[in-house]
Structure 1
Amino acid sequence: MTPRLRPDLHTIPTYVPRLALPDSIDPIELAGNETTFGPLPSALEAVSAAAAGSNRYQDNRSGELVGALADVLAVPRDRVIAGCGSVSLCHNLALITCGAPTDEVLMAWRSFETYPIAARIAGARVVQVPLADDVHDLDAMAAAVTANTRLVFVCNPNNPTATAVGRAELERFVDAVPPHVLVCIDEAYLEFLRMPDRPDGVEIGRNRPNVVALRTFSKAYGLASLRVGYAVGDPAVIAALHRVHVAFSVGRVAQAAALASLAAPGELRRRTDAVAAERERVRDALCALGYPVPPSQANFLWLGLADEATSFTVAAAEAGIRVADYGEGVRVTIGTPAENDAFLTFAAAWARTAQQCRSA
């Protein structure tokens, strides 16, 4: 007899790993939603110093980091909590808002894969609203809110389509949501935004108790494997997140690296400017080749290839380039100029072959 487990576990989707390649291939890695650059130099120094104290437990509440974040964001400390990446905070937001099978978690789709997983782990119902031209359809999302809605996720910029909505539009949406429904504005790619009406979840939530902003050090700061993110919101929401926080989940090294990274805004800006310039160069080249690529506000591009997405991904893998296949499209992370050039060479060849097959 096997142990008695939750009968609904089969309904919870699992996180899909990257496409496996033969051991003989050292791929150009453009599938993982990471930065190609390593940690900032100052963060590397902090990591080395902090590692020496790894025999001691770290501050469970990440007090020094929370204090530094509060100072940078100009908010009280009780409005900030650190987490094991923003992913863990997504799960915890579902846990503090949902407790019955009738509870609903609303999100755009396609969006970040963690959202439906977090909702179902919390035992809630997933409600997905289709994107409109690869962008959040905020009017449709507002209309989809019901008496059972407990939590709304807005990924802005959106993963995997790289699109973003502006601040005014986002504020209109938040104000259309009932104040008892928690709205999570997930800003994992905030540092790559280059748009006039720049959204800012922290500012939007400053006077709106039902808004919480999520941010991370995994992307622009190059700390993906150290796992440190943070949430900013109303003190009551932050206090609730502390109740479901997994003890000691933000390591000593991660806290030190995040603190050092936070203190290097100039280095970060130079890095993100370089990524933004490369994404525009790569997008222009792809559009010239006939690929459907919406404007990007993130560190990746979305190729809306529909039913050709999987064949594109497989062909890229055979060429030694790993990209992320979503069935209806492909996400391609911006790499180094040399990596991007190799990808564009492949994309040009694939476009010629695909056109020949369509014409045959």
Structure 2
Amino acid sequence: MAWKRVLITGAAGFLGSHLTDAVLAEGAEVIGVDNLCTGSLENLQHLKGNAKFTFQQHDICHPFDFGEVDYVLNFASPASPVDYMKLGPETLRVGSDGTVNALELAKKYNAGFLHASTSECYGDPEVHPQVETYWGNVNPIGPRSVYDEAKRFSEATIMAYQRYYGVRTSMVRIFNTYGPRLQPNDGRVISNLMMQALAGDDLTVYGDGAQTRSFCFQSDLVRGILALAKSGEPLPTNIGNPEEWTILECAKTVLDVTGSSSKIVYRPMPQDDPKQRKPDITKARSILGWEPKVNLREGLEMSMDYFKQRIAQAAAAK
């Protein structure tokens, strides 16, 4: 059944705004909700005048109801280390109170519900690649715990609403995603390296750069999220690119794509930084028929104009 009216929390964020575009492109009406704590109205500027899009500035940690909807996509949360370490209590609250309020709305209107969870639920994994049945290796009191545990609590809450109240829920465990609209100074690998390379600054690599990540371009992720939302799959599902890169390899690729002559410099590893991160996407392939199409080099090339614009904006503001 096609969606008629969808509510998206975190709609002014990187992923939330791309998801808003995709749902509108399918013909549904969208209510975008964001408190603009880390999101930006600039990400939604192109939707001004779109009769099918309504924006509500609201903190979902407080109850809300903007009318009947048939689906809720819950993407509200600080998501970068810079943001969630600065906004620790707020991150915990949006993962707890915010998730409950979003679930209550879905329950009230018998709407479907999909939650943006994270590969951080696996912590510094002792199982590689990470499969959904792995329970994780998370430090519950470390500096990253405000994000990790908020997302893990959200998953437990969602399962409770599914079991006790029959809410139709899905959960996507998102692995590193990048592309246009990614915050330029949010501390994530791609944004850091692209901004540094294009500005002619040294590229920062933590540790010896041997730690690994997998990088999924935003259009691939959004396609997987929509497929998962429509599948009715109730248990967590990994959506990410299983191509594994060391951080050092990623930095060298950024230098190559940008043509930058910047140097690579090494800094101490942050506490609890995962050594390996790679999704097992067997489940997504089998139940959704999904797999990524964009490789890292292609994605970096498609992101370059956006990061160049952000550097130009920063220079003009000085």
| TM-score range normalised by the length of the shorter chain | 0.3 to 0.5
State the TM-score, normalized to the length of structure 1.
Answer: 0.34
State the TM-score, normalized to the length of structure 2.
Answer: 0.38
Bigger RCO (CA 8 Å, 6+ sep): 1
Whose radius of gyration is greater, 1 or 2?
A: 1
